[in-house]
Amino acid sequence: MGLRESPYSSRVLGGLDTTMRALLFPGYWLANEVLALQRCTGEKPRCAPYGLEVAVRGPLLLLLLLLYSPVSLLALLLWLPLQGARRPFAYQHTPGRARPEAWALPGPARTLRLLSGNVCLLPEGLAKFSNVWRTQWRARHIGQSLAQAAQCSTPCAPTGAPNGLAMPHGLPGGPAAVLGHPWGDPVVTVELLPVEEVGAVAGEANGPGEIAVRCPPNLDLLCLQEVFDLRASAHLRHFLAPQFEHIIHDVGTYGLQGCSALKLLNSGLFLASRYPLLAVEFHCYPNATGEDALCAKGLLCVQVQLGACQGRRVIGYLNCTHLQAPEADGPIRHEQLNLSLRWTQLFQDSHAQPGDVVAFDIFCGDLNFDTCSPGDAMEQGHEIFSRYIDPCRLGPCQDEPWAIGTLMNPLRIYDEAVATPESLKRTLENPEERRKYLAGPLQAEGSANLLATWHKGRRIDYTLYRQHWRPGHLKTAVEKVFFFTQLATCSDHLPVGLQLLVSSEVEPEAPARKDPL
């Protein structure tokens, strides 16, 4: 049985929710317009002076908001009880497009491409606190850009592999990298492609990292954060639906359901997949504080079906999250990571079936800590990095030479040097120039480290993966790690892409041999 599209099991409840949201919208719009009176650095001067606009529009908007507040309050009181019957996500299925080729066992090596990014699609008034604006325009632009990247998505075997099978590769100087097994086995081997074959960031040491203007074609999975605005979400779904048949949106619990405080915004998580979704779960973090307590941040867990062979499912796991934002809240983020690991394992244990072949297991999202800031020391040593592999990380407080920060300095995202995808790419490839535009490391108390004269920026957006080392599972190798500049000025984050080569060493089950009579 497939997923139900509506978050409500009853059409009556769904209709009531739609009606209450329609009654709440005028009050929401008026409050948003009041907050949007602030200016961001990218806005051009208008005909009327800014002070005059605030003096005229501000009181008028506040008066209308006050007059409409009784209707908003009544609608809110009627809407809150409905949330107890709401599933914490909505699902959009768009049939009709050509489905991706199913994965076969045994079969050719396959390339899996994932993109994760914080797109800052908050209501306009809140988005301006991050110095971005035009939320609806940005949503359409982001949707069009990502849809174009996913067009003509036909999986194929990597070039240079005879008969479509993956060639074994290893690290320079040895056949493979030896790592501690996440679950306690003595050692495992994870094969990485030779650095000379997979390109490099200009001006940096060789490695699989690449600063790219355009998102690569054939995207399989898309994980976005901060898609809070429901109209922006609708724009994204409109453009992405022709390329991604399965979309999870409006993720999170509203009201007082499942979390410790009143939730007025959802989690902001948004997931699109070309492959069918077998199971979806969302868990809300119970320890959010401050402004983060008003939104239902949590962990989204998804089980994806890639194919089947002889009754065995070929599946993948994708876990997406967005952790507590304020820099000084390291203990809260640490506990949220603990909860994430627990929920991830419970989800996989509860939805696994005998004979399943796991092709990938990815943990991604905006984790709001980096590997260069002394203030993030607690999160840098978290257990998650012993269970999942960060391809950009060498160890605590140390990244690969080719890795760069993903958080921009929000006050400078409209500067000419970073205002277009091409100029942003050129700037990021220059170590001296990029330090001017990437957010710098933090001190232990959470404030910016103004004395840091050398840094590669705060890399707070992660794409982690792990290998399931059990008989019959598939092997995973990192081909590329991308830092994309296509969304220049649309967000204060750089989207991150992960390209994995998944190869099969699974042999088909031999037919039963009949004994001679």
Q: Which residues does the annotation mark as catalytic? A: 493
Q: Could you give the CA distance from residue 54 to residue 43 in angstroms, rounded to a whole number?
A: 15
Q: Could you give the CA distance from residue 270 to residue 268 in angstroms, rounded to a whole number?
A: 7
Looking at residue 67, its amino acid is L
Which tokens is 249 given? 């949106």
Token pair 């203007």 is found at 213
**How many CB atoms neighbour CB 289 within 10 A?**
12
What number of H helices and E strands is found in the chain?
A: 10, 17
Q: Could you give the CA distance from residue 151 to residue 97 in angstroms, rounded to a whole number?
A: 11
Cα–Cα nearest to 145, from 488, 500, 481: 488
Looking at residue 238, its amino acid is H
Grouping H, G, I as helix, E, B as strand and the rest as coil, residue 326 is coil
Q: What are phi and psi of 111, to 5 degrees?
A: -100, 130
Question: For residues 89 and 282, is the Cβ–Cβ distance under 8 A?
Answer: yes
Q: What are phi and psi of 482, to 5 degrees?
A: -105, 145
Q: Could you give the CA distance from residue 228 to residue 475 in angstroms, rounded to a whole number?
A: 36
Question: For residues 151 and 98, is the Cβ–Cβ distance under 8 A?
Answer: no
What's the chain's Rg over C-alpha atoms? 24
Q: Could you give the CA distance from residue 3 to residue 273 in angstroms, rounded to a whole number?
A: 14
Q: Could you give the CA distance from residue 501 to residue 157 in angstroms, rounded to a whole number?
A: 9
Q: Could you give the CA distance from residue 121 to residue 106 in angstroms, rounded to a whole number?
A: 42
